[in-house]
Chain A
């Protein structure tokens, strides 16, 4: 199967792509082909695959239905609007205006603004504390022994403080953190023994 053959004829000429370099509109009839086509604006050769979503019109904004009777639930944020769905995280009733769909889930604007750890699909960034801990334990050893006087305790303290923080979204166990903790403790033990023996001598 050629790379372009899966794109159906539903992706019509009107559903054209834009040039990846200058963002000019590419001729729709030249898209979905295996061979590169020149951009009419900048002349860059490129391949463009257009999907049916390109022909889909923009979804009109929803305003929410007005609450008509007392036996209907109202929106948490707009009490005069009729609730249509509960938030999947906090459970608040939401009108069509406040309902934010992410994938197959519904969230309220507040939950979307402050995603918690359980809401994996809403997190836009993550600090990799396990990497920081391991770097603090290993890099001072590479730079020379003396930086580990600071690095090792810092690694151990950070391991304890951020022990429960999740690792990368791509996966990963607590192995890095455990390794950092072990390395840090060993270095602290070695330094203690060194200073103790010096003091004794």
Chain B
């Protein structure tokens, strides 16, 4: 079946970019940020994937620094407020930033994963964490390798 897709292991469940696994290929689905009503598809057949590279980026660290600064900057506000309700309201923003910081740290370092084929290098937006990329490769690597070592018999030329 052509359109029997499942989420590729390790790839993001939500977001503008998603990676799905088909029977013999990977499907990258991206939505433009300015118009979320269109999906663009790109397919990578297992037999064509030449390499997958993952390099760590500093985006996660930068986000952590920004979240920490914002949380620390907003933390004193609830303590200086006199009203009880104002305190309750003012405690929410720093708590949210601390939560985001905790999630960001727990998710691990960010990365940029690139799929190499003979004709293109495609940065996979759905794999943004090193842990995700490793999980993806542990699951998909053997499949890609099996496909390349034992390619399915292509329908041979027929005599019409």
Contacts and interface: CB of A to CB of B under 8 A. Distances in A.
Contacts of B3: 120, 169
Contact of A128 (B24, B38, B48, B56): B38
A45 B130 CA distance: 12
B142 A6 contact: yes
Given A46-B56, A169-B3, A103 B45 contact: yes
Interface residues of B, number: 51
A73 B159 contact: yes
A170 interface: yes
Given A20-B114, A73-B160, A51 B41 contact: no
Nearest to B158: A85
B41 A49 contact: no
A133 to B, nearest CB: 10
A26 B53 CA distance: 10
Which A-B residue pairs are the 4 nearest by beta carbons? A46-B55, A17-B51, A20-B114, A20-B53
B148 A51 contact: yes
Nearest to B112: A20
Contacts of A45: 55-56
A130 to B, nearest CB: 9
Interface stretch (A52-60, A179-187, A192-200): A52-60
Interface stretch (B70-78, B81-89, B90-98, B115-123): B115-123
A120 B4 CA distance: 11
Interface of B: 2-3, 5, 18, 20, 24-25, 27, 29, 36-43, 45, 47-56, 112-114, 116, 118, 121, 123, 134, 137-138, 141-142, 144-145, 148-149, 152, 154-155, 157-160
Majority-rule SS of A interface residues: loop
A168 interface: yes
A121 interface: yes
Contacts of B49: 51, 53
A61 interface: no
A18 to B, nearest CB: 6
Interface of A: 1, 3, 6-8, 10, 15, 17-21, 23, 26, 31, 36, 39, 44-54, 58, 72-73, 83-86, 93, 96, 101, 103-104, 106, 120-121, 123-129, 131-132, 135, 168-171
B160 A47 contact: no
Given A125-B40, A127-B38, A169-B3, A52 B56 contact: no
The listed residue with most A CB atoms (<10 A of its CB), out of B5, B24, B27, B37, is B37
Contacts of A104: 24, 152, 154-155
A84 B138 contact: no
Q: Which of A6, A23, A83, A84 has the most CB of B within 10 A?
A: A6
A86 B158 contact: yes
B126 to A, nearest CB: 12
A20 B112 CA distance: 8
A6 B51 contact: no
A39 B27 CA distance: 28
Contacts of B27: 169
